[in-house]
Amino acid sequence: MRPDWINKDYYAELGVKKDASSDDIKKAYRKLARANHPDSNPGDEAKHEKFKKVAEAYDVIGDPEKRKKYDEVRTLGATGAFPGGFGPGGFGGGGGRGYNFEDLFGGGGAQTGGLGDMFGDLFGGGAGGGFGGRRTTPRARPIKGADVETSATIGFTDALDGVTISLRLTSDAACPDCNGTGGKPGTKPRVCPECEGAGYVVNSVGGAFSMNETCPRCGGRQLIYDEACPTCHGSGRGTSARTIQARIPAGVKDRQRIRLKGKGAAGENGGPAGDLYVTVHVTPHRVFGRKDDNLTIDVPVGFDELVLGAEAKLPTLSGSPVTLRIPPGTPNGRTFRVRGKGFRRPDGTVGDLLATVEVQIPAVLDADAKAAVEAYRAAMAGKPLRTSLLEES
């Protein structure tokens, strides 16, 4: 909502009636925008200016909510709520006696009330907004703080159970000397002349369309200072160093990115803080590995254990060891599943322990072991294992 709406007839700018439909307004805007677009009229300043006015008009009456408030303001002026109508210098241009702008809107010395109170909502009133002595400064919009990126390294067991870690963060923050205003402490701001306190400007984006962009002069703050803050040189920004406690959830994977809401840089003008994104690095384990949400382990076994069957005790990360029963005739490389001994998933369920048996071949045999292997070879001599490889297919 902008005060200059009072003296601007956006319907006339687009050449439509006040009761025109949204479609009629859109058609009129597109027609005028095409005819006056800077790309089609290089060097024609008059058409360039017309294009800006057409875009500004459509930005207001092309939006149902803005159009409703704009019509309310214009109606009050047309019905005499503003004596003397709209004149070149504001009000009182209708030939009769003039009216002081501040008197009408509740300004001027100790006077209180006035039409300024009626327009509190329409013009963003309240302390520091709208018209008159109490309403000359727009209220800056809340701005969300910046998101912050960091990384952390945790142990394999910590990834299984979850862990709380301390993080030292350095992030963007409001300048401590000017509190984010960008102005020299002790000086007063004034309304940005570029955007007239709106915080944005209307720019064309090609064709018959335009869009609102953050004002390049005030950066969306709506206000500017003639003297910049010597600490931040007018940017309004500084750095903040702090230590926070961050909870890394159970089951986190290596290189997983965790979002911690509201743990980023502080917001401006009462805006919410940004978020913190932590990339987690998990150190490998000496015994265990990971596959999805399952723990993995390679179990060394002897040839006789696979042939005759055996029992093997396996370690776990979540409690006491478990016993793995290997049935007779188990092939080398088979994987057994032990339920509920893996990583915790986000839904509360738990993965498994995957144990893969691997035959260990001794490099040296004593006399008795060697004799036993030779006896086994002799017993299997009539059952060659590679006969099928030599058969013609």
pLDDT digits 0-9 by tens, 348-392: 899 999 999 999 999 899 999 999 999 988 888 877 777 777 776
pLDDT at 105: 42
Q: What angle do CA 130, 204, 221 make, to 5 degrees?
A: 35
Which tops the pLDDT comparison, 140 or 345?
A: 345
pTM to 2 decimal places: 0.50
Q: What angle do CA 201, 63, 209 make, to 5 degrees?
A: 55
Domains and CATH numbers, the chain: 3-76 (1.10.287.110), 297-359 (2.60.260.20)
45-61 helix and 22-36 helix, angle to the nearest 10 degrees? 160
- Could you give the strand order of the β-sheet that contains 335-338, starting from the edge strand earlier in sequence? 289-291, 294-301, 353-359, 335-338
Binding residues: 175, 178, 192, 195, 215, 218, 229, 232
Nearest residue to 323 (alpha-carbon basis) of 286, 355, 360: 355
CA 59/CA 211 separation, integer angstroms: 8
End-to-end CA distance of the chain, in Å? 87
Q: How confident is the model at residue 159 (pLDDT cuts 50, 70, 90)?
A: very high
Q: Which residue has the tokens 């790309």?
A: 39
Rounded average pLDDT over 249-264: 92
CA 393/CA 390 separation, integer angstroms: 9
CA 370/CA 136 separation, integer angstroms: 101
CA 62/CA 55 separation, integer angstroms: 10
pLDDT at 392: 62
Q: Which residue has the tokens 């949400």?
A: 293
pLDDT at 240: 72
Say if residue 111's pLDDT is above 50. Answer: no
Binding residues for Zn(2+): 175, 178, 192, 195, 215, 218, 229, 232
Say if residue 320's pLDDT is above 50. Answer: yes
